[in-house]
Chain A
């Protein structure tokens, strides 16, 4: 069966510090991978998605970046965190079957980031 891991679960960082959040997927090959952010009481905002190694699409211009060094590994980074980067970060994966993904994405447990 497929599983998705995210770490750390919680993180408190000072403004201006770097960030690295990691997401890995097990039990599937060549998944589509996604990073979302959810501010308190709000819906999810898509930040990045990737259809393959080294292929990253950015949805929202900001001080965050994403990388996919391996097929099932997705990393979210920042060189200098802002207060507005606080939120709940979720990684998700989906699979293409015959070119169709049926809008079903599987989400990880999330990382709650607080920037002080």
Chain B
């Protein structure tokens, strides 16, 4: 499984757009990029997944450049409730998935 590198922590303010970048230089051709969100004392929650270019859903956008060696999770107009740890994962989608969670990015939203 491709290893990922993310900033350990980030701070922002309510109403701002937050971009969290993840590096995955050894991503394989059949790997997808997936982001999870985790609040304290809860299990992670799937946010978004993509393979290339841009993916958008109701909570976030995922930008993936052509070389796929990095990806950026974009959270529009964050609120205090977006304070959480965000994990970037890279892996294939066939069969049982052995997700490898790194330390993630601890995002703190300030008023």
Contacts and interface: CB of A to CB of B under 8 A. Distances in A.
Interface of A: 32, 34, 36, 42-46, 49-51, 57, 59, 88, 90, 92, 94, 96, 99-110, 112
Contact of B89 (A34, A101, A103, A108): A103
Given A49-B96, A102-B93, A105-B99, 20 more contacts: A32-B96, A43-B87, A43-B104, A45-B101, A49-B98, A57-B96, A59-B98, A88-B41, A96-B95, A100-B93, A101-B94, A101-B96, A102-B32, A103-B93, A104-B49, A105-B44, A107-B43, A107-B44, A109-B42, A110-B42
A92 B45 CA distance: 10
Tell me if B's interface is mostly helix, strand, loop or mixed: loop
Interface residues of B, number: 24
B23 to A, nearest CB: 16
A46 B98 contact: yes
B43 A109 contact: yes
